[in-house]
Amino acid sequence: MHIDPIFIIASALAIAVLLASAATHKLRAPARFAKQLADYQLLPEALVRPGARVMPLLELTIAFALLVPVSRSWAALTAAGLITLRTPPPSASTCGVAGGTSTAAVPGLTRRSRCARSCCCATAC
């Protein structure tokens, strides 16, 4: 099956914008992101600070790689993996997106993540 190149480019661009936007939020408020990362308990305590420093750089690298045709496939698969790892289970979904502090559950969070992963996988083809 052959996917239309326009869909691949649009998906790559959308995920690149998403990752670049997320990275800039993290770079603007690194302490807030480190706290959010610690609150999600995705990493052991000893890896929270290093993870908070590396995550935005990784996101920017993947965003750039998505825009380069030669590296698009591995970047899309890496983005899908990154989005999967960062998505908490539905019972633990909270709104810390873009610096928010609300702890109210966000039912659309996992749905949005599934959509982003689908775009990544389609881009990798």
> Environment class of residue 123 by beta-carbon count within 10 Å: exposed (0-12), middle (13-18) or buried (19+)?
buried
Q: Which of 26, 6, 3, 10 is nearest to 97 (CA)?
A: 26
Q: Per the confidence metrics, is the pTM higher than 0.75? A: no
Output the tens digit of pLDDT for each of the chain's 125 residues: 677 889 889 989 999 999 999 999 999 999 999 998 888 887 889 999 999 999 999 999 999 999 999 999 999 889 888 887 766 555 544 445 444 454 444 455 555 556 665 555 555 55
Q: Which residues contact 69 (CB under 8 A, 6 or more apart)?
A: none
Q: Which of 9, 12, 34 is nearest to 99 (CA)?
A: 34
| Block residue for tokens 């990798």 | 124
